[in-house]
Amino acid sequence: MSYECIIAEVRGDGERKTGLITLNRPKQLNALNDQLMDEMGQALLAFDADDSIGCIVLTGSERAFAAGADIPTMAPHTFISAFKSGLISKNWETILLIRKPVIAAVAGFALGGGCELAMMCDFIIAADTAKFGQPEIKLGIIPGAGGTQRLPRAVGKSRAMDMLLTARMMDAAEASTAGLVSRVVPAEKLMEEALTAAETINGFSGPSVMLIKELVNLAYQGPLKDGVAVERRYFHALFGTDDQREGMDAFINKRKPGFTQS
Ligand code: CAA
């Protein structure tokens, strides 16, 4: 499949590989228009359906992960046209359907929809150049892809209010302290770090990986009691897999496990 606004490629030489998606509208700092979001959705779904892929990495350029939704294409909308066309709807939410882990590797600006897209990934690895922000208020609008909901969950109410109401940007160090990103690395090491993390995940049992993603999202979205109950059932269910027997036998016999994804 050839794309115009993204690059989709397969990385790694292990049994299970990494799907790498690079946002590629450099002149517009990867501003997220419909074509890019459609293409990204197609690439994500294709990697999710491909059994040889264990994990997906989503990245941008050195200067920008993404500077937000595409402002010139949004500018002419009225309430009715935005509502009827479902502006920032379907193609923005495809990423939430993906069952394999999606790691955001962020360098430079992740603003507005760019920050929201990074927050829709499962975790964020940031270059020391990364800058996060929700500057929609400066445009006379508000975030439209979950920013008012995911940012407070990620960084707490006070810091989220500060960012959303003042439009100030958060640098990588602050994003790390606040819990928005999982690690900060020198910019030149960003892709190596993200691809290594993906490769580590690729080496584990796929069903365990997918269940952890599902359960952490349940913890993030729902009540604790329900999440713990579902976790217990899935925990029991994994004792019906070959990978559980292999993983535990390998530990006991001090050898490396060979997971078969079954
Ligand atoms: N949409 C379209 N084009 C954009 C863009 C965007 N969101 N952000 C940057 N660009 C374009 C600029 O128009 C510029 O294009 P030209 O060279 O043709 O003029 C090019 O990218 C480079 O940008 P700048 O010259 O502005 O670069 P800079 O280094 O001076 O500033 C910046 C970088 C701080 C990111 C600045 O471009 C900026 O503030 N961008 C807008 C950020 C923003 O408001 N994002 C929120 C969008 S709304 C949204 O996302 C809604 C939602 O919730 C989904």
Give yes or no for residue 1 having a pLDDT over 80. no
Nearest to residue 113, comparing CAs of 66, 81, 150?
Answer: 66
- From 12, 113, 114, 144, the catalytic residue: 113
Q: Quick check: 108 and 131 in contact, CB under 8 A?
A: yes
Q: What is the Cα–Cα distance from 195 to 14, expressed in whole angstroms?
A: 12
Residues near ligand 1 with C-beta < 6 Å?
Answer: 28-29, 31, 67-72, 88, 109, 111-113, 116, 135-136, 139, 143-145, 147
Same fold flag, 6-202 and 206-252: no
Residue 206 falls in the annotated catalytic set: no
pLDDT digits (tens, 9 = 90+) for 194-204: 999 999 999 99
Confirm whether 194 is a catalytic residue: no
Domain ranges of the chain: 6-202, 206-252
Active site annotation includes 193: no
- Measured in whole angstroms, the distance separating CA 155 from the mean position of its chain's CA atoms is 16
CATH code of 206-252, in short, is 1.10.12.10
Mean pLDDT across the stretch 3-31?
97
At residue 233 the predicted structure's pLDDT band, cuts being 50, 70 and 90, is confident
pLDDT band with cut points at 50, 70 and 90 for residue 53: very high
Average pLDDT of 94-99?
97
36 φ, ψ (degrees, to nearest 5):
-60, -45
Whole-number Å distance, alpha carbon 64 to ligand 1 midpoint, is: 10
Query: In sequence order, which residues have a C-beta less than 8 Å from that of residue 135 and are 6 or more positions away?
Result: 68, 111, 112, 167, 169
**Whether domain 6-202 has CATH 3.30.450.20:** no
Whole-Å CA distances, 197 to 12, 20, 42:
12, 13, 23
116 a catalytic residue: yes
How far apart, in whole angstroms, are the C-alpha atoms of residue 165 and residue 133?
Answer: 11
pTM of this prediction exceeds 0.90: yes
Average pLDDT, the chain: 95
Q: Model confidence over 161-173: pLDDT tens digits?
A: 999 999 999 999 9
Q: pLDDT band at 210, cuts 50/70/90?
A: very high
